[in-house]
Structure 1
Amino acid sequence: MAITTCIFDAYGTLFDVSAAARIAAAEPGQDRLAECWPQIARDWRLRQLHYSWLRTIMQDRADFWQITCDALDWTLEAHGIEDAALRARLLALYHELAAYPEAKAVLAALKEAGLNTAILSNGTPEMLNAAVASAGIGPLLDDVLSAEMCGIFKPARAVYDMAPRRFACAPGQVLFVTSNGWDAAGAAAYGFTVAWVNRDGAPVERLPGRPAHVLRDLRGVPDCASL
């Protein structure tokens, strides 16, 4: 079945989730953060994901921005950092996450090939629209789909349903691109053709659903879409 639509996860896939901590750490007066920003970035991201799953299980939902704030608060406390100005700066930077260097060229190549392109993310519309605008990739996307629209987070099937419904296609006509192993498993189990951008060389998750393609960065996505 030919690919007609290329759907991207946002955080960690198109947008570098480490960028907020990295940029803040390089600013004047942030010597403490400069010593530990990679671990701050990792812990913040992991706690963000854990809270999205745990709140789903607990049936006590919050939107992804609240979860992002809660995850940062936990992380800063875990590292012994109590700094309201730094907290505000990190959250502001999260709205302006840098896209990976190859992202714009890859999206442009997909559009030139006549494919639909979109984001499908757990992020709120406000978060996603801010990141898209900051990265300058809006003209290269046909839509930005937020899990907020269906009230549950990935890897719930209801979230993946949004893509074929929006583009009037079969799941097998979608190339789903994600850097998250759990998302790759969920999307593949749903029925998407999945390209997993495995930047860290991690093992494939032991979950139902396996990616059709494993890439080191986004540059191989157009080739996956044309197979």
Structure 2
Amino acid sequence: MDTYKIMIVDDDPHICEIVQVYCDREGFMSTFSHSGTEAMKLLTTFEPDLIVLDILLANENGIDWCRNARNFTSAPIVFLSSQEEDEVKINALTYGGDDYVTKPFSPGVLMAKIKAHLRRVSSGRREQLLELPGLTLDFYTQSVNIGGEAVFLSKKEFSLLSYMAQNVNRVVSVDTLFQIIWGMESLEDTRTVAVHISNLRKKIEDDPADPERIITVRGSGYMLVANSS
């Protein structure tokens, strides 16, 4: 059975302790952070399956943290908050949250919600992997696994890589990538494709200056190369 990892982000040590105790009882692995800055660093090292997030962090808004975190993870985010206003709940769920629990809260109810989200995560995971020689794309975490290590990508970087992976060893034009990823209504121009490809290479290539995975086909576009070797 999978051991799920829960990350708790709350500036109240007592809340963190309560949630951790209940996570331990369920056999979950858990960790916590009292600040948004620390939590963002922890996000990429701990790789949580679910995040319990306070709305009112010290010197930071939990909703803003959630919006930023969505560039790095698709893990369900369950908000904890003493705020009961509909507007706050709507914003929390609109900008990346998956659930909302008000304080004071029942630990049993919170754990029931966590387990429900984890069941959905588990059922969908097997269908969210795209395996190619040398790399595996994980659509759940929006990451690519290279040599046993997960490399987290921004949404645009992952969209570029996943589209090229579905057209592996085929040249994809810059115009096609731009229209598929950014859309016709974008205020950007096609030069942004090259910028994102450059950033993507820095994350997945051994030598970004001499790429072997994403190669440039002059006058045509880019190609993701996945050789059996």
State the TM-score, normalized to the length of structure 2: 0.31
- Higher relative helix content: 1
State the TM-score, normalized to the length of structure 1: 0.31
**With CA pairs under 8 Å and 6+ residues apart, which has the higher RCO, 1 or 2?**
1
Q: For the pair shown, which has the larger CA radius of gyration, 1 or 2? A: 2
